[in-house]
Amino acid sequence: MPLGFAHHHLLGIRQLSRQDIERIFEQAEHFLPYCRSAMYRLPDLRGRTVVLAFFEPSTRTRVSFELAARRLSADVVSFQAAGSSLAKGESLLDTLETLESMGVDAVVVRHRDSGVVWFLQRFLRCSIINAGDGQHEHPTQALLDGFTLWKRFGSLEGLRVCIIGDILHSRVARSNIELLSRFGAEVGICGPGTLIPQQAEQSWKVRRFFVLEDALQWAQAVIVLRLQRERMESGLIPSLQEYHRFYGLTRERLARAPHLCLLHPGPTNYGVELTREVAASPQSLIRQQVHYGVAIRMAVLKLVVGDRIAR
């Protein structure tokens, strides 16, 4: 394995080279046998402290980071925004500087403001890991999605992947488009016009599908997204039923594309972007994604925090 990982933070996929991503995949592959059970505790982060600072709801990402840090023997602290001095008017930066002064080596941050991690890394010396900033980036989700596809297909080069749904508000879509394009995959997008950013085709070099059936015939894999209603202005879709009728992945639609496998970052809203049957079908890689997520986050923590020369 080559020496030294060039990054002391993980802010977004945009800052990573293809080699960096391959390095993370190789490291995750190595950790896979150790990520399922607390029987194994590897020493890579012994003596390091990782704070999980989630200012937006999360199940998968937060628990997955916590398990990953523990499997590598780190001390893990979950910062609870509710009940903290943020409620007394303390700024986010002051809060994190206070935590850093207590000897923290890394902060895993999720926040509703796009770009917040870029701001924080200018002031903090500890490592910052982006666990989702607004509608901007969610790098570890894209890494685990890319890893899932890489394990399934053996390569991402030339792979046809279509992202379906609320592209406009999705940090998962943005990070995945960056990552997949870096590897020479062909990326498609499909969704209602109100949920696709203007100029998407030109600025991302993606292929736009207007009809779901066409996208399903073209793609080898689809990444199905939740409608991010917490970030949406009202009136972007007529109704959830209408959305499901045109863009929902159902058993009938999937049956007409037997070659296809599907991913979803979670949480799923059954009866909207897909049905429960589809999520549980043999074509679904959703459970694999969650499993690989722990190995990917172990790899990121090891390379970004564990291999960092002590401050």
Contact set with ligand ASP (CB under 6 A): 132, 138, 171-172, 226, 228, 265-266
**Least distance in angstroms from the C-beta of 264 to ligand ASP:** 9
Strands 160-164 and 221-224: parallel
Which lies closer to ligand ASP via its Cβ, residue 71 or residue 171?
171
Q: Which is nearer to ligand ASP, 114 or 281 (CB)?
A: 114
The C-alpha atoms of residue 178 and residue 138 are separated, in whole angstroms, by: 11
Q: Which is nearer to ligand ASP, 112 or 251 (CB)?
A: 112
Picking from 115, 99, 242, 269, the residue whose alpha carbon sits closest to that of residue 107 is: 99
Which 3 state secondary structure label does DSSP give 203? helix
Query: Of 114 and 228, which CB lies nearer to ligand ASP in the complex structure?
Result: 228
Q: What 3-state class would DSSP assign to 19? A: helix
Distance of closest approach, residue 68 Cβ to ligand ASP, in angstroms: 16
Question: Smallest distance, Å, CB 115 to ligand ASP?
Answer: 15
How many whole angstroms separate alpha carbon 64 and alpha carbon 295? 9
For the bound state, the minimum distance from the C-beta of residue 168 to ligand ASP, rounded and expressed in Å, comes to 13
The residue at minimum Cβ distance from ligand ASP is 226
Smaller CB separation from ligand ASP, 171 or 244: 171
Question: Please, what sign has the CA dihedral across residues 20, 293, 187, 219?
Answer: positive
Instruction: Give the shortest CB-77-to-ligand ASP separation in angstroms.
Output: 21
Least CB distance to ligand ASP at residue 59 (A)? 8
Closer CB to ligand ASP, 75 or 266, in the complex: 266
CA distance 280 to 270: 11
Q: Are 173 and 189 in contact (CB under 8 A)?
A: yes
Nearer to ligand ASP, 111 or 138 (CB): 138
Question: Which residue type sits at 204?
Answer: W
Give Cβ neighbours of residue 196 (< 8 Å, ≥ 6 apart).
167, 168, 189, 208
Q: Work out how close the CB of 179 gets to ligand ASP at its nearest, in angstroms, rounded to a whole number.
A: 15
- List of long-range contacts for 204-213, beta carbons under 8 Å, 24+ apart: 204/177, 205/181, 206/177, 209/162, 212/164, 212/246, 212/247, 212/249, 212/253, 213/253, 213/256
CB 32, CB 42: distance < 8 Å: no
Q: How far is the CB of 116 from ligand ASP (least distance, A)?
A: 14
- The rounded distance, in Å, linking the Cα atoms of 218 and 206 is 13
The residue (of 174 and 308) whose beta carbon lies closer to ligand ASP is 174
